[in-house]
Structure 1
Amino acid sequence: MAENENGAAEAAQPQAPKMNVLAQFVRDMSFENILAQKGASGEAQPDVQVQVNIDAKKRSTEHQYDVLLKLKVTSKSKTTEDVFFILELEYAGIFHIENIPDEQLHPFLMIECPRMIFPFARRIVSDVTRDGGFPPVNLDMIDFVALYRNELMRRQAAAQAEAPETPNA
């Protein structure tokens, strides 16, 4: 009887999740070397700030999704606040994803997919800043789980702020 139960349990188990990166590419990129445009010279201590945004959407093909990792890297002088450069990068991945429950799909798209393409975007940022005449910016690894949680909390707070207060009856 135990064999029968195990066999039935194995058949009822969901299939393992599948994910394939079908393509990845630079969708848009801009590098503004403001320091060169101004003709500034001298040594300065840079302050590098990085903004990260992620977007995901379903493609028309079944089980395929676009995930867009948007990075904005700004380097300013710590002392004068003069901007040295601004790098904006939109790096996209096309993913084939199967066997992910609907309630887990959104976090999967916003955490696991960016995690897969981030090393390539990181390399581009490093190469572009180096080729632009600056020390290469080597981005720290991004905690996409924390980023996702922070965005959920921000959205909940925004929804609560917009909700009209109901009087207690």
Structure 2
Amino acid sequence: MTDTDVAPETNGADTEEPGIRILAQFIRDLSFENPRAPETLRTQSAGQPQIDMGVEMNARGREDGLFEVDLKLSARATREDGPVFHVELLYGGVFQITGVAPADIEPVLLVECPRFLFPFARRVIGDVTSDGGYPPFLLDPIDFAGVYAARKAGGEIQGPAMGNA
């Protein structure tokens, strides 16, 4: 042990710890359609509706070094006798990402950032379906890493930190 502090040699590598900071969250677009209300509200005993879900992620860099990430969730509920409701939400966030190599930024933007946004987007969809007269539609957790991997393998994601997933 010595009495002097010697900094470890970094060989010029960036030693900043990886970090994600959410600077803002917002609803960019929200649509709720209840095309057959109030009739569909009275026939809820007709069984559970069939739900078709959609998930998209999109990210882009900004001139100020921050990143915008959008999470698009959609749900369409139908029964044998027709549509019940359709909700579509585009929920966004502005993120500051530090200590991540440029080659690794894409999965951070399209997997980790949507994980941060999801609970808030889920609540919005639950609230709007409840306000539409239905029991709250609470989305099951989404495997964003699986969605990203499948879309990457399918060639749907192109270019670092950009594109839809």
Q: TM-score, normalised by structure 1?
A: 0.81
CA shift, 1:6, in A, is 8.1
Identity of paired residues, percent?
38
Task: Determine if the alignment matches structure 1 residue 14 to structure 2 residue 32.
Answer: no
Q: Distance in 2 between matches of 1:26 and 1:10?
A: 44
CA shift, 1:14, in A, is 2.5
- Matched ranges for 1:105-144 at <5 A: 105-144=105-144
Question: Which residue is equivalent to 1:46?
Answer: 49
CA shift, 1:18, in A, is 2.0
Per residue, is there more helix in 1 or in 2?
1
Q: Distance in 2 between matches of 1:65 and 1:73?
A: 26
Question: Which residue is equivalent to 2:71?
Answer: 69
Q: Distance in 2 between matches of 1:107 and 1:119?
A: 19
SS of match in other structure, 2:126: helix
User: AA paired with 1:69?
Assistant: L
Q: For structure 2, which runs of at least 5 residues remain unmatched after alignment?
A: 157-165
Deviations 1:22-65 (A, max 9, x none): 0000000000002317x344222211221000000011212x00
- Matched ranges for 1:15-34 at <5 A: 15-34=16-35
Question: Which residue is equivalent to 2:59?
Answer: 56
Q: TM-score, normalised by structure 2?
A: 0.83
- Aligned alpha-carbon RMSD (Å): 2.3
- Rg larger in 1 or in 2? 1
Question: Which residue is equivalent to 2:162?
Answer: none
Q: For structure 1, which runs of at least 5 residues remain unmatched after alignment?
A: 157-169
CA contact (8 A) 2:60 2:67 kept: yes
Q: Distance in 1 between matches of 2:81 and 2:133?
A: 19
CA contact (8 A) 2:54 2:74 kept: yes
Between the two proteins, the alignment pairs up a number of residues equal to 150
CA shift, 1:103, in A, is 0.8
